[in-house]
Structure 1
Amino acid sequence: MALSFACNASILPQQVKVNSRSTKYLQNVRNLVETIGIPSISSSPDESLRKGNWVKLICGASFEDVVDIRNLSLVYTLAGVDCIDCAADASVVSAVNEGIEAAREMLGSLRRPWVMISVNDDEDLHFRKAEFDPDDCPLDCSRPCEMVCPANAISLERKASSEEEFTHFIGGRGKLQVGVITERCYGCGRCFGVCPFDKIRAVTYVRDAAATSQLLRRNDVDAVEIHTNGRQTDSFKDLWNNLEDSIRHVELVAVSLPDVGDLTVSVMKTIHSIMDPHLHCYNLWQLDGRPMSGDIGRGATREAIAFAVRLAAVRDRPHGFLQIAGGTNSHTVSGLKKAGLFQTTSISGNWRGEMFTVNSQQALIGGVAYGGYARKIVGRVLAEMQSHHGLAHIEDYPNYVFKALKEALLLQKGREKASTGITL
């Protein structure tokens, strides 16, 4: 089913007076970035990938709140991520790039992370939205869906009026009908099982290949990620053929797939054989252990690590870096180290038509992608800012930039970097 989501990436900043306190916090941000020695100041995204230091922010394949996306992109650019993965929507891509450029203007010395768009070849958990009719909700419902939603994408507040209108004012965005706030829902599915009246349904969709091709031709899109379910490869082949002419514009092609047991390596080989004739850039396999669960707790990362352990042990797997996702959080890097996945190895591949071989101390795993957990820890700061200032560019309030950056840097502590003596 095709869905159309209206997004507006042009966000008007509020007029903010620059005072000595704001100047102090802005200088604190600069000092923190420079003292930590964040890799983004001196290394390129492909160097991080080759060395096994790659870190990607997942905004969400279906998350389309351009206000939050812009601010998240700014904060994590300052924190040194190598790539920002977002929905294949023109307004969302523009919001990501606005955030990146705002971060670079603040410091002046940051290199630009790659911008990646995510698409799917068939039905996929990451490409769906929750939906229900709030008029069907009983008045005495305890509203567990609203409480369990990690994205604050469900609102069931009632505004008293003579006509019992079901409207709610959301963070300065204006009046919206209660129910699912479509642009904030990223399809995690946690609300489905908790509704006591079974009123919530999933609406799935597949990104349009023609629109994706146009996005890949933009000079501010550097990579594409194709989500596949691993059960069959015909739909992947169809999508690849439709994208073939635009693939030459990107630096990286990633394929995100779940663990399908003994069939996983066979599926990877088939997919690689489809891509190989027209693959003239880096390729990466995103191992999606436990999708959209990193914010749940420590145990969520175990499936992703177990998936990586099994794939890293396969010697005849196809070319490409391995990157884990799905359940990643602050415990992931320590888990990877305990599993022995940061070891010297050799990886071969094709980049711009030339073969390369990488000998790296960390190349068994090229890197880690953080989604729900990364959005959660910075999202708390963004929510606090919006509760006081409404919609705003976070750089207009450097105290919140400083606070959000300290949270974001906690995900970087497992990367190889010089000891700084700073406690975050």
Structure 2
Amino acid sequence: MTSALSGLRVLDLSRVLAGPWASQTLADMGAEVIKIERPGAGDDTRGWGPPYAKDVTGNDTSEAAYYLSANRGKKSLTIDMTKPEGQEILHRLAAECDVVIENFKVGGLAKYRLDYASLSEINPKIVYCSITGFGQDGPYKDRPGYDFMIQAMGGLMSITGAPDQEPGGQPMKVGVAVADIFTGLYATIGILAALRHRDATGEGQHVDLALLDVQTAILANQAMNFLTTGKAPGRLGNAHPNIVPYEAFPTADGYIILAVGNDSQFRSFCNVAGIGHLPDDARYATNRSRVANRETLVPQIRQAMVMKSTDDWIAILETANVPCGPINTLDRVFDNPQVKHRDTVRYLDHPTAGKVPTVANPIKFSKTPIAGETAPPMLGQHSDEILRKVADLSDAQIAKLREAGII
């Protein structure tokens, strides 16, 4: 079967995470992604380790795990874009591509004639996606933006972590770079929408993605909690601002997540937990009342939960149709039978490591399945292939460029 995006070609000028996450997603769905990297250095994340992938003898390769997480399915071409000869090659490639992705600072590519205005003259159908910290306009447009600071500026850290009055209470970032990853996913959505418009009208366009915009957008219900009340929500640790009980509870041997989403589930939970009288108390009969009276309700639930082990509670609560789950470490995540059944971890052939693991794209298509994934490329692994096939250069021309340090 052909993949959903077979025949689409992407010129990927991005590096680190947000841009590469977008281009990896497009590659997973069948697009040919040409990753442009600096000769001799490549994407910064190649060196963001340890850990690194191991070669067949057990020694570290040059491929950091961080780099491997965001560059599956691509082809690597090394070009010095600061040189006119390098820019000319990129212009040739842009003329043959459908999409360009870049995450340089605003205006940073104009001096190389690789900005949207320049490339759209060469290819009016190009969909050009720019990813920056703060967008292409506004008072902050020239500032650099990094995930950690965006999580802070965008309000996420103000609602993440334990309250100040609890031990260790302080604002916390999320354990993965969610501002970057969500921006990569929104970029993918924007690119696909722009391609739909291009296919209908024949014209490309500039897609402008900002980490701060995305971080603000994904505040979701918390943003609306503020906008409807004018009161900024605070940190509740693992508790939910709008649903009770919906948090982590200690058990006899650890913790369990209890996610009671409606009044019926609350009654079922109370019946099996030995606190069946609580749903008949007006203070706890509805979710609205439970949210208002969480300070008196939650201690009673905690007292019941510590009487049994996590595994015992899971068995009991699943039988009663009460949503719950353990707090798994990553070794338990990847050993989970459901995760295994969904073919979440795959092993891809690699030139020096033999095989490298990857976490599969979670999209399951019935007609155009994700297939044929390849390992993240070695630096410059596909340079000659791309220059011959796409840029239409001869072997002699390629050799001359290599001798001059352009590729």
TM-score normalised to structure 2 length: 0.28
TM-score normalised to structure 1 length: 0.28
